Amino acid sequence: DVVYNHTAEGNEQGPSLSFRGIDNASYYRLVDGDWQHYYDTTGTGNSLLMRHPYVLQLIMDSLRYWVTEMHVDGFRFDLAATLARQFHEVDRLSAFFDLIQQDPVISRVKLIAEPWDVGEGGYQVGNFPQLWSEWNGMYRDAVRDFWRGEDNTLGEFASRLTGSSDLYQHSRRRPRASVNFVTAHDGFTLRDLVSYNDKHNDANGEGNRDGESHNRSWNCGAEGETDDPAVLELRGRQQRNFLATLLLSQGIPMLCHGDELGRTQRGNNNAYCQDNEISWIDWRLDDERRALLDFARRVIALRTEHPVLRRRRFFLGDTATREEQPLPDLVWLRPDAREMGDTDWQRPDAHTVGVFLNGDAIAEPDPCGRPVVDDSFLLLFNSHWEPADFRLPGAAYGERWTALVDTADPEGVPDEAEHKAGTVVTVEQRSMVLLSRPSRTAR
C-alpha cells in the first residue's frame, strides 16, 4: 500500500521535515499566483507535484526498489487520482501513467488504484488505463444499498455482480480490472456496517467530525451492541449476504481482514489513530464468529473450485453451448422463472432476482488451449423484508439442482439439498440461495 500523493509536512502551517526545506516549489503543488499556500487534492494539506521530474523519479525509484529488492508483486496506490493530475485535471495520458506503462519492471506487477481523491473531478472509477485494476467504489455502494433494501437498486446491483463491464470494457479491460469490496480499512468493518446507522468516532478526539458520515449502513433495528435475538440473527444473516455476494461476484474480491471473524471497531469508522482494542483483532472465537469464519471459507472454496464464478472475460449474453438446447452464458430470471424484461428492471420496488451462470458457455481456453467447462449455477437473491418463492427454470436449464448455500441459515447450510426443475424454492427475507447442476459437456 503506497502513498505517493502527499507527505506528513501538511500545509503551510505544518512542520518542515524534508521536501519543503529542500525545494518546496519542485516537490509540492502550490496555488497559482500564491506560492505560500498549497493546492490540496488529498485532504492532508498538500499534494505532490506530479509533473516535476524529481517527483516522478522519486516515485519510480521507490517502486523499483520494492519490486527488485523486496520482491513485492504489486501495489495499491492511495488516492491514485492525485497521481494522474499532471496539471489541474485527472488525465489518463499523464506522465505518471506513461512512465508506469513503459517501465519494464513496474508494468509487469499488479497495479491497483484507489481511483479517487478529494479534488474537483476526483472520482475516477472506471477511468484508469490498461494494466490497472481499480477499487470499485460503485460496487461497494450498490451492494450495500441492495442488501439494506433500498429501492431502485436492482439494475445497478446486477451490473456490479457481473463484473462492471459498463465501467471497464470500453478501455479493453477485463473483469479483473474491478476490485470488488464491501468494506476496507477506511470506514466501518462488516460487523459494524450491519450494527450502526451512524459513526461513533468520539474516541478520536475530533468531536465525531472525522470519518465518512454517509455510510449506506443499517443497524438491523438497534444501534450498536444489543442482546435482542432477532436483531442479532438478522445481523448475522446480513454479514453472510455481503460475504457471499462479494465472493460470488465476477472480478477480484477484496475481503478486509477481520470481517470473516466478525471484527468490530465499536462504530468507529476512522480508527487509524486507535492503537488499542478498537483497532486490534480479537482472535478468540465464540460459536457465532467461528460459524462466520467457516461460512467464508466454504464460499471461498466454491469460488476457487469453479471458473464460472471467476471468469476472465465479461458475459456477452451469447448462446454458446454445444448441446441441442443452447443457453446464453448469462440469464436474468424473475421469481416466476421467466426472463427479466425492461419493465422488471425499471420497477423501483424490485428486490428479487435470479441469475443463471452457464458453466458450459464460458468460451475461454485453459493454459493448454482446451475449452474451460464448469458446473452451472443459479443465484437467487431476495433483499425484501418478506420471503420470496422462486420457481426453478425448466429442464432446459437443468433437471436437478443441488442447493449449496443459504444465507438464512446460521451456518449457511440449506435445509433441503435437492430440487427438481420447475419446483419452488423459498428464499427467506433478506437472504440468498446458491444452487448448482453438473456440466453437460465436461468429459
DSSP 147-205: HTT-SS-HHHHHHHHTT-HHHHGGGT--GGGEEE-S--SSS--HHHHTT-SS---GGGT
Name the pairing type of β-strands 330-333 and 252-253.
unpaired
d(C-alpha 373, C-alpha 441), whole Å? 7
- Report yes or no: 360 and 376 within 8 Å, Cβ to Cβ: yes
d(C-alpha 189, C-alpha 269), whole Å? 8
Three cell numbers, residue 185 = 480499512
List 78, 150, 259, 329, catalytic entry: 78
Read off φ and ψ for residue 169, nearest 5 degrees. Answer: -70, -30
- Report yes or no: 168 and 177 within 8 Å, Cβ to Cβ: yes
198 is catalytic: no
375 is catalytic: no
Residues near 75 by Cβ (< 8 Å), separated by ≥ 6?
Answer: 1, 2, 63, 66, 109, 110, 111, 112
Q: What is the CA radius of gyration of the chain?
A: 24
List 9, 40, 114, 259, catalytic entry: 114
Alpha helices in 325-400 (DSSP H): 342-346
What three-state secondary structure class fits 341?
coil
User: Which residue, among 149, 265, 310, 121, has the nearest Cα to 216 in the 3D structure?
Assistant: 149
- Report yes or no: 261 and 289 within 8 Å, Cβ to Cβ: yes
Other CB atoms within 10 A of residue 52 CB? 18
Kindly list the distances between the CA atom of residue 213 and the CA atoms of 123, 152, 187, 203, 218, in Å, as whole numbers in the listed order. 18, 22, 10, 16, 13
Matching residue, cell 442479532: 232
Read off φ and ψ for residue 289, nearest 5 degrees. Answer: -70, -35
User: Which residue, among 196, 223, 200, 220, has the nearest Cα to 210 in the 3D structure?
Assistant: 200
Q: Which helix (H) or strand (E) holds 432?
A: strand 431-437
Using CA atoms in the order 298, 299, 301, 307, what is the torsion angle rounded to 10 degrees? 160
Left, alpha or beta for 405 (phi > 0: left; psi -120 to 50: alpha)? beta
Q: Return the active site residues.
A: 78, 114
